Amino acid sequence: MNALVGQSGGPTSVINASLAGVVDACRKSKKIDTVYGMRFGIEGVLEESLLDLSTLDAETLKGLRNTPGSALGSSRLKLQEQHFEPILKLLKKRNIRYFFMIGGNDTMDTIHRVVEYARDHGWEMSGVGVPKTVDNDLYGTDHTPGFPSAARYVAMSVLQAGILARDMQRVDQFVIFQTVGRSAGWLPAAAACARQQSGLPPHVILMPERAFQREAFLQTVKQAHEKHGFVSIVCGEGITNADGSPVSASETRDKFNNVEFGAMGGTSAAMILHRMISNEFGWRGEFQVTESLQMCAADRGVALDIKEAFDCGKEAVRLAQQGNSGVMVTINRVSKPKEPYAIELGTAPLSEVANHERPMPDKYISATGMDVTKAFLDYAAPLVGELPEYQFLPKPRARRAAR
């Protein structure tokens, strides 16, 4: 019996660690002869473009753990009815009895549909999903592999850019940093981990879970400027107005009917906010839209994230060999705040993961809707890890009034 593994959707800086985990466990299995890798996701199955990953040497597998991108290549193809018959034909031809894919909601939907179709047509196969997304919006898991490293990327970027903005406040009065995140605010919220001292950025955090209110936003920006002399703003790409329309005004959608905020010709939320602030206050400022850099910054990868990604890959193989199918591996936190971080691996049904998203809970969002609570910082701190501590000069003493 053979296994098949693929990667799908946007990458993370640790998605290849999950791939290495799957391959390592398959190679050590007495039930699996060969593990094949799909080139460019499910498209590789349709084109019969597969790699024999069983032949990889130990050094290559070890190196994959710290390699960004998607080593097998990715895809966002949405399966149509005409795709299932040729997929089943290849599964039978290669005697695939174990089916693994590493990805997010849409990927879990793909696994679920392929396994169900195969079973309905007499081909028994175990299908297990390995979680992946920087958005951290997968249902049923405390967090997803990829999020901790992306969260650290955001926190460090906002911290360092915030220091620059503070020092350049006589030139640029504000800076806006935009994160990825279609409908969940986990990544923009992670910027709050950058606050090492009172007054340090970010001063305003906009998350998709709360409707954007123009007047309240501008008032908060004005107050922050009066207090700090500059303003640091972080926004998720998917923030929306009260009527549900994207602040970015993007109307482009992908094959899964998801809004493409980075689509060519579109306007980012950061650009809209920049224009809004400049028009209102006459200030000069800048915006930073890093797009996929949050998904591939291996230099800021979190060791914890790499290990958990690898372990999730291994766990998927273990579950499949025990006869489990139609599930995704989950990370369940068993430690409480202020206790040493600890997790257990579990499962969630693919059907539920595919049809649900996990927004930030209300307890993590401040009453203003433009910041996070201490509960969120307690949640995120073990994932992001300690940030560099920078040296700051003391503030000038206030001048004494002349006698």
What pLDDT does residue 355 have? Answer: 80
**Residue where the block lists tokens 């650009």:** 271
CB 43 within 8 A of CB 75: yes
Mean pLDDT of 124-148: 97
Q: Where among 355, 376, 396 does a domain terminate?
A: 355
What pLDDT does residue 400 have? Answer: 65
Does 140 fall in a domain?
A: no
Does 203 fall in a domain?
A: yes
Does 389 fall in a domain?
A: no
Q: Are residues 164 and 270 in the same domain?
A: yes
Pairing of strands 343-349, 327-333: antiparallel
Q: Are residues 161 and 262 in the same domain?
A: yes
Q: Are residues 274 and 323 in the same domain?
A: no
Q: What is the CATH number of the domain that holds 78?
A: 3.40.50.450
CB 125 within 8 A of CB 325: yes
User: Across the strands, what pairs with 129?
Assistant: 101, 328
Cis peptide preceding 388, ω within 30 of 0: no
Q: What percent of the chain has pLDDT over 70?
A: 94
Does 398 fall in a domain?
A: no
Q: Are residues 45 and 105 in the same domain?
A: yes
Structure tokens at 29: 């299995």
Measured CA to CA, the distance from residue 213 to residue 78 in angstroms comes to 35
Amino acid at the residue 292? S
Outline where DSSP puts E strands in 262-396: 285-289, 327-333, 343-349
Mean pLDDT of 161-185: 94
User: Across the strands, what pairs with 6?
Assistant: 101
What pLDDT does residue 263 have? Answer: 45
Q: Where among 355, 370, 394 does a domain terminate?
A: 355
* Percentage helix, strand, coil for the chain under 3-state DSSP, each rounded to 5: 40, 20, 40
Number of domains in the chain: 2
Q: Are residues 339 and 367 in the same domain?
A: no
What pLDDT does residue 401 have? Answer: 59
Measured CA to CA, the distance from residue 389 to residue 395 in angstroms comes to 18
Q: Are residues 156 and 65 in the same domain?
A: no
Residue 336: closest CA among 378, 364, 384, 377:
378
Is residue 258 scored above 60 in pLDDT? no
Measured CA to CA, the distance from residue 372 to residue 270 in angstroms comes to 19
Mean pLDDT of 157-182: 94
Q: What is the dihedral of CA 162, 262, 77, 101, to 10 degrees?
A: 0
Q: In this predicted model, what pLDDT tens digit does every residue of 28-87 receive, in sequence order?
A: 999 999 999 999 999 999 999 999 999 999 999 999 999 999 999 999 898 999 999 999
Does 271 fall in a domain?
A: yes
Sequence-ordered list of residues with C-beta below 8 angstroms from that of 309, at least 6 positions apart, any chain: 12, 14, 15, 17, 18, 21, 132, 145, 146
- State the average pLDDT for the chain: 93
Does 117 fall in a domain?
A: yes
Is residue 7 scored above 60 in pLDDT? yes
Residue range(s) defining the domain that contains residue 177:
147-297+359-384
* CA max distance for the chain: 96
Q: Are residues 60 and 120 in the same domain?
A: yes
What pLDDT does residue 113 have? Answer: 96
Q: What is the CATH number of the domain that holds 288?
A: 3.40.50.460
Does 171 fall in a domain?
A: yes
Q: Are residues 112 and 173 in the same domain?
A: no
Q: Are residues 241 and 345 in the same domain?
A: no
Reduced to 3 states, what is the DSSP secondary structure of residue 343?
strand
Q: Are residues 288 and 171 in the same domain?
A: yes
CB 247 within 8 A of CB 240: yes
At 264, is the pLDDT very low, low, confident or very high (cuts 50, 70, 90)? Answer: very low
Q: Are residues 221 and 307 in the same domain?
A: no
Mean pLDDT of 327-354: 96
Does 402 fall in a domain?
A: no
What pLDDT does residue 196 have? Answer: 74
Structure tokens at 391: 């040296």
Upper half-sphere CA count for residue 350 (Cβ side, 13 Å) = 26
Q: Are residues 174 and 274 in the same domain?
A: yes
Burial (Cβ within 10 Å: 0-12, 13-18, ≥19) of residue 136: buried
Q: In this predicted model, what pLDDT tens digit does every residue of 185-228 receive, in sequence order?
A: 999 999 999 997 777 899 999 999 999 999 999 999 999 999 99
What pLDDT does residue 265 have? Answer: 45
Q: What are residue 216's phi and psi, to 5 degrees?
A: -65, -40
Catalytic positions are 135
Mean pLDDT of 278-307: 93
Measured CA to CA, the distance from residue 91 to residue 81 in angstroms comes to 16
Q: In this predicted model, what pLDDT tens digit does every residue of 304-319 receive, in sequence order?
A: 999 999 999 999 999 9
At 403, is the pLDDT very low, low, confident or very high (cuts 50, 70, 90)? Answer: low
Measured CA to CA, the distance from residue 27 to residue 356 in angstroms comes to 33
